[in-house]
Structure 1
Amino acid sequence: MDQKADVVVIGRVCIDLYPEQFGVGLEEITSFSKSIGGSATNVAVAAAQLGNSVRLISRVGDDPFGEYAKNEIARLGVDNTGITAVAGMKSVLTFCEVFPPDNFPLYIYREPTAPDMYINGDELPLDLIAKSPIFWATATGLSKEPTQSAHIMAWEKRGRKPNTILDLDYRPMFWKDEDQAHQAVSTALDHVTVTVGNLEECRVAVGETDPDRATEALLDRGVELAIVKMGPEGVMARTRTQRVESKPIPVDVINGLGAGDAFGGALCHALLRGMSLQETLDLANAAGALVATRPQCSLAMPSWDELHEFSVQAHGIPAN
């Protein structure tokens, strides 16, 4: 097995069944499009579409949807050798309603749990995780065992190497309660060097919703780069020596569900190329805005040429 990857991503996979009719509820929708999804999967695809080598670690159901997911992930440029099926389980299905510009209700069928909650530490490519330039994980992966222990094992092997990224990714449906999420994320903060989250996710992680206080609290925990998505105020990033903001980009939103994952993939791309903090944030912000103008998630992730052209128009990002 080839033990090389620019980015290793661990996390959930699902099958997105998104409506082909917008502005109506599920009870009125008559047809759906099928694509792969799940936050970690979308980030992996986004980074791969920008030209990076990416390995995804996850688990799927032992069913035709699981086979579809593995095949589609490979078709979109991601190494799928880290994806295995869980015997007797069904793959996760995600339906949504689309009410542009800012209402996209999700209905996720992963009860009582999901295959990606059965990622086992003894099956991880630990040497690859340790040496890859970027390792991306999400807080959702900490919500149950055995995947929580697998994440800790991966981080311990990596040893808080630079660009060990945690998407704070708080979704109440995956947790027993908010305190459980806070405790799990607090443990994770001892292992990671980059965090990405919105104001609500920062509140769960460190008890702060003010962007500056939240990033300061994250830096105090040993994080080297803290990124806070501030909604209509744009995005802010802080290190111990820099503070930069990227202003919101006005677009006609079709589906905002994939925007954050596009942000993540572009963030990985920029970090791999050593772009300045301002360029990094602007590029990631542009990726999110661009994908929000498209109807799906994984299939909406742009190529480098598409993103670069859009970024130049939005922020004046130089070629890199």
Structure 2
Amino acid sequence: MSGAEVYSLGRVIVDLYAHELHTPLRKVESFHKYLGGSAGNTAVGLARLGAKAGLISRVGNDQFGAFLSEKLAEEGVDTSMVNTDPNYPTGLAFAALFPPADSDVLFYRKPCADAHVSLEDIDFEVLRTAKALTVSCTVLSQSPGREATLAALEANRDSGGVNILDLDWRPMFWQDDEEARVIYRAALRLADVVLANEAELVFAGQSDKPADAARTLFSLGVTEVVAKRGGNGVLYYGNEEEFYVPPVAVEVLNTLGAGDGFGAAYTYGLLQGWSAQKRVRFAAAAGAIVVSRHSCSEAMPTLEEVKEWMDETPQQV
């Protein structure tokens, strides 16, 4: 039996990013097509760094689904648990870019294929041989993805694997915040590492103070919380240490995908057994590279690119 050493579970969609910068979507005339979605981006990011990575998701029975499957294969991602949904189309995201500010994203995913990943898509025997599972938590927003995700987290934990949750909190995908908190809490009880931006950490930890929010997550069994703060650097909270890593100087083109690049690099560091300090600095550099490029998945750096960036680019203080 052979499988990947790390699997990503969650969204894989087609990203359509505007060629024209600082232009609202209604006035954009041309777009570039990329593989996107947090889990898809993370799987590509891990593969480019040299990890043996796989994806657990669904694509539509359409040309966009074929495009995603082909791109994943080109990147060396194991697609044995990426199935074609017989009923729902591939999800889309259109983005207008306003560097250095955040982008304006319009999702077409009600319904869509990746939201319907199910228990039958997961080869649990193979999953139990993996070292790590990363989850993009949007997949928790509806059934059957919700149940499949919780089962995958439980199986990976039972076999000794590390569970990494990217909170990926997007309120528009949920019925209401209270429903989301209940489901998130169930997933967090199966998590080892949590990656979150400030808004996501406030939501999950129910406190606007990062340290207090992290302690709430520790009470559920989480052992590491990594707060991604963009131009304000990174806060790390662990059972035995806390520290701050300043931001990396970079010219921002597109903020989308930076968190996925960060998460892929952080997970890679976990697989290598690196110290927390080394993992965070490496991940911050990978995220900085991604924001300097137009796309998400195709912006994911190689191991050599991250090392070169770290050697050449000073951190801010």
Give the TM-score normalised by the residue count of structure 1.
0.94
Q: Which residue of 1 aligns with 2:97?
A: 98
User: 2-side partners of 1:209 and 1:162: how far apart?
Assistant: 31
User: 1-side partners of 2:138 and 2:116: how far apart?
Assistant: 13
Q: Which residue of 2 aligns with 1:191?
A: 190
User: 2-side partners of 1:211 and 1:312: how far apart?
Assistant: 30
AA aligned to 1:274 is G
User: 1-side partners of 2:188 and 2:167: how far apart?
Assistant: 10
Q: Which residue of 2 aligns with 1:138?
A: 136
AA aligned to 1:222 is G
User: 1-side partners of 2:252 and 2:146: how far apart?
Assistant: 35
Secondary structure of the 2:280 match is: helix
Identity, in percent, stands at 34
Q: Which residue of 1 aligns with 2:124?
A: 126
2:149 is aligned with 1:151:
yes
Residues 157-168 of structure 1 correspond to what in structure 2 (within 5 A)? 157-159=155-157, 161-168=160-167
Q: Which residue of 2 aligns with 1:214?
A: 213
Q: Which residue of 2 aligns with 1:237?
A: 236
Residues 257-272 of structure 1 correspond to what in structure 2 (within 5 A)? 257-272=256-271
**Contact between 2:188 and 2:222, CA under 8 Å: does it hold in 1?**
yes
Alignment deviations for residues 58-117 of structure 1 (CA, whole Å, 9 cap, x no partner)? 001111111111011111121112111111321111110011101300011012x22112
Greater alpha carbon shift after TM alignment, 222-231 vs 279-288: 222-231
AA aligned to 1:8 is Y
Secondary structure of the 2:128 match is: helix
Paired residue total: 314
2:253 is aligned with 1:250:
no
Alignment deviations for residues 140-199 of structure 1 (CA, whole Å, 9 cap, x no partner)? 111100111111111222236352111111001110111111111111111111111112
Secondary structure of the 1:141 match is: helix
Q: Which residue of 1 aligns with 2:201?
A: 202
Deviation of the 1:312 alpha carbon: 2.3
Alignment deviations for residues 178-232 of structure 1 (CA, whole Å, 9 cap, x no partner)? 1111111111111111111112111221202211111121112111111112343
**Contact between 1:137 and 1:167, CA under 8 Å: does it hold in 2?**
yes
Deviation of the 1:315 alpha carbon: 5.9
**Contact between 1:245 and 1:281, CA under 8 Å: does it hold in 2?**
no
Give the TM-score normalised by the residue count of structure 2.
0.95
AA aligned to 2:37 is G
Secondary structure of the 2:263 match is: helix
AA aligned to 1:299 is E
User: 1-side partners of 2:220 and 2:270: how far apart?
Assistant: 21
**Contact between 1:251 and 1:289, CA under 8 Å: does it hold in 2?**
yes
Q: List gaps (5 residues or longer) in structure 2.
A: none
Greater alpha carbon shift after TM alignment, 43-52 vs 18-27: 18-27
Deviation of the 1:243 alpha carbon: 1.1
Secondary structure of the 1:131 match is: coil
2:37 is aligned with 1:3:
no
Secondary structure of the 2:107 match is: strand
Q: Which residue of 1 aligns with 2:54?
A: 55
What RMSD, in angstroms, separates the aligned Cα atoms of the two structures? 1.4
User: 2-side partners of 1:241 and 1:83: how far apart?
Assistant: 38
Q: List gaps (5 residues or longer) in structure 1.
A: none
User: 2-side partners of 1:219 and 1:163: how far apart?
Assistant: 15
Greater alpha carbon shift after TM alignment, 206-215 vs 49-58: 206-215
Secondary structure of the 1:59 match is: strand
2:45 is aligned with 1:46:
yes
Deviation of the 1:128 alpha carbon: 2.5
Residues 79-98 of structure 1 correspond to what in structure 2 (within 5 A)? 79-98=78-97
User: 2-side partners of 1:312 and 1:61: how far apart?
Assistant: 42
**Contact between 2:257 and 2:297, CA under 8 Å: does it hold in 1?**
yes
**Displacement over 4 Å in runs of 4+:** none
AA aligned to 2:117 is I
User: 2-side partners of 1:192 and 1:207: how far apart?
Assistant: 17
